[in-house]
Amino acid sequence: MDKLIALKYFCIAAETLQFRETAIIMSVSPQVVTRIIAELERELGALLFLRNTRNMKLTEFGEHFLPKAQQYLLDGEMLFLSEKKEQNDLKGIVRISVFSLPKNDKILYDLLLKAAHYPKLKIEWRVNSTKLNIIENQIDIGLRVGFNPEPLIITQHICHVKDKLVISPILLQKLGAPKNLNDLQERFPTSSLINDNTGRPWGWPINNVLHIFPKNITFITDDQYSELSSALSGSTCALISDYLCSEYLKNGTLIELFPEIEKKNWPMYLYRPQRTMTSPHVIKVFNWLSEILLSYYPKQNDI
């Protein structure tokens, strides 16, 4: 078994969750995909996928193995780039889509320092509150938080983030501590981000089994920083990502409500489209950005 090829089959199958689709991408029969995945599972001594007649999903082992396999493939691609070839090939535009992060300016600064050594390399940096369509917007690299990356893309896990229910001391003193989530929904002014698919308030996805819609939503926005401002001003109670509110919780400007309730664990990942041939300059920038992001958001210290 060619382990490098087997890992490529596995990574594509993990993205498509269909052996038939994987076979089309690799220009082989579904039986070949099934055989190669089975050989890889025997080599690893563990199942990678759970399959039935209706669907397929990664096992827990498969989920942990996937980012390692993806990184191994990325490292393998870079081995074939000599210094001279790299200098000649690192030219052209790389379109990058990211969402707003407190450290975006530092991340971009570090990336541009690396790119400065390659004068023919151009960076297009888009900061968006919504996820852009990869094909329509010609995106080469993207950074997102969530569970549903588009099909046929390569991902690099960066870290995990969690949401926190927060309130200002002023609003808490005014209304008193909520007895429970129902009391919070009924009595407190709240905020909500807009669901881009419906144009309506997204509500609060607390965890995998609890998604609530507060009764008194007084502030609606498509910008997470605006929602944070609403909470800081004492206007609303909000469900805010921890990378945004952690410093305010530390200095007491915000207070966390119901910390004992488990909150959803959102993966942050860098991604790029799965293509037959990926330009060396895109691979290089992808690796640069992965390295930079991991320096600010190390996995062992998930936000």
Distance of alpha carbon 232 from alpha carbon 250, whole angstroms: 13
pLDDT confidence of 85, banded at 50, 70, 90?
A: low
Residues 195 and 241: beta-carbon distance below 8 Å: no
Return the residue matching tokens 């220009």.
27
| 3-class secondary structure, 272 | strand
Distance of alpha carbon 103 from alpha carbon 289, whole angstroms: 13
Instruction: Count CA atoms closer than 13 A to 258's CA, side-chain side.
Output: 19
- Closest residue by Cα to residue 297 from 96, 110, 59: 110
Statement: residue 206 has pLDDT above 80: yes
pLDDT value for 260: 94
pLDDT value for 102: 86
pLDDT digits 0-9 by tens, 141-186: 989 887 666 666 788 889 888 899 999 999 999 999 999 999 999 9
Statement: residue 301 has pLDDT above 50: no
Statement: residue 76 has pLDDT above 80: no
pLDDT confidence of 133, banded at 50, 70, 90?
A: low
Q: Could you say which DSSP state residue 237 is in?
A: B
Distance of alpha carbon 279 from alpha carbon 282, whole angstroms: 5
Buried b (16+ CB within 10 A) or exposed e, 199-238: eebbbbebeeeeeeebeebebbbeebeebbbbbbebbbbb
Instruction: Count CA atoms closer than 13 A to 32's CA, side-chain side.
Output: 13
Dihedral over alpha carbons 207, 213, 218, 222 (to 10 degrees) = 60
Across the range 209-225, mean pLDDT stands at 91
Q: What is the pTM of this model?
A: 0.63
SS3 content of the chain, % helix, strand, coil (to 5): 40, 25, 35
| 3-class secondary structure, 124 | strand
- Closest residue by Cα to residue 145 from 169, 162, 164: 162
Contacts of 243 (CB under 8 A, 6+ apart): 101, 102, 161, 297, 303
- Closest residue by Cα to residue 238 from 221, 250, 262, 252: 221
Contacts of 69 (CB under 8 A, 6+ apart): 7, 10, 11
pLDDT value for 300: 45
Domains and CATH numbers, the chain: 3-76 (1.10.10.10), 96-151+269-297 (3.40.190.10), 161-265 (3.40.190.10)
Residues 201 and 194: beta-carbon distance below 8 Å: yes
Which of 16-20, 74-78, 198-202 shows the lowest per-residue confidence on average (mean pLDDT)? 74-78
Residue 113: exposed, middle, or buried by beta-carbon count in 10 A (0-12, 13-18, 19+)? exposed
Distance of alpha carbon 234 from alpha carbon 220, whole angstroms: 15
Tokens of 240: 């805010």
Residues 242 and 102: beta-carbon distance below 8 Å: no
